[in-house]
Amino acid sequence: MGRVIRAQRKGAAGSVFKAHTHHRKGPARFRSLDFGEQNGYLRGVVTDIVRDPGRGAPLARVTFRHPLRYKLQKELFVAAEGMYSGQEIVSLLEYPGLEAIDPAYALPVDVVQRIFFGR
């Protein structure tokens, strides 16, 4: 009699070889780009800093006012170093300048690369 090799055991997918995702908070991503963010900025407030299992960095729950309707939009961002609950976040498409640098700016990656690396 031979042994059941590891690849065969993984195919059956018991509790050892599964990702335990029950307690995850959700995907961390930027807001979807809308008119207000393309032509100006949106202000949000960090409501909570949470730990997400299976992730090395904490997440920040940020609440924005909806630009068109009377309601709030809640988003999950990867928390930057120095973020705290109650901090105001500015979400914008273009960066105003290096003299006003602040970790509270939520910028697309290509804008950050253009600013710091000149790409």
CA 52, chain centre distance (Å): 11
For residue 13, the model assigns a pLDDT of 74
Mean pLDDT of 7-26: 81
First to last CA, the chain: 60
DSSP 111: H
Q: What is the mean pLDDT of the chain?
A: 82
Residue 102 in domain: yes
Query: Between residues 66 and 14, which one has the greater pLDDT?
Result: 66
Residue 47 in domain: yes
Report the 10 Å Cβ neighbour count for 57. Answer: 12
The rounded percent of the chain whose pLDDT value lies above 70 is 87
Structural domain range at position 63: 21-117
For residue 101, the model assigns a pLDDT of 59
Contact 80, 49 (CB under 8 A): no
Q: What is the CATH number of the domain that holds 73?
A: 2.40.50.140
Convert the pLDDT of each residue in 53-96 to its tens digit.
Answer: 888 899 999 999 988 899 999 999 999 888 899 999 888 776 66
Residue 13 in domain: no
Q: Which residues contact 10 (CB under 8 A, 6 or more apart)?
A: 17
Residue 7 in domain: no
- In this predicted structure, the answer to whether residue 14 has a pLDDT above a threshold of 80 is no
Residue 66 in domain: yes
- Number of domains into which the chain is organized: 1
For residue 16, the model assigns a pLDDT of 76
Mean pLDDT of 7-12: 81
Contact 75, 44 (CB under 8 A): yes
Task: Note the pTM of the prediction, 2 decimals.
Answer: 0.69
